[in-house]
Amino acid sequence: MHNIQNLYKSLNERKRPEDIAELIADLMHDKLTVAENEILKTAAQSALNRNFFGYTSMLESFGEVIGADRQINKALEIFKVQNFSDSDYSKTEGIELFYMVFLL
């Protein structure tokens, strides 16, 4: 079950394909054909877990989504537009409302 959690968590991360292949190979090895296992084994050869140093210079996580409050408030200020709404621009509904009212 641990690999399923890691695989799911990787959807929001920037894992290398080799590392994902290793997770899949560990999770599914008994459900795959010999040929499929060989393909995953080959793909996973350079996985960080198999590397002596286990290091990558690539960032492994994306920046967190913080919303559009600052950007929308700055646009309202620059274009001297009255903000009639008390929408929360950190949520998609507020951003969509801004778009519908001010940009269409």
* Residue 95 and residue 71 in contact, taking contact as beta carbons nearer than 8 Å: no
Supply the DSSP string of 55-98, one letter for each residue.
--SS--BPPPP--SHHHHHHHHHHTT--------TTSHHHHHHH
For 37-87, the pLDDT digits (tens) are 899 889 888 776 666 565 666 666 666 767 788 888 888 888 888 776 777
pTM above 0.75, yes or no: no
* Residue 47 and residue 77 in contact, taking contact as beta carbons nearer than 8 Å: no
**Residue 95: per-residue pLDDT:** 82
Q: Which amino acid is at 17?
A: P
For 85-95, the pLDDT digits (tens) are 777 888 778 88
Residues in the chain, how many? 104
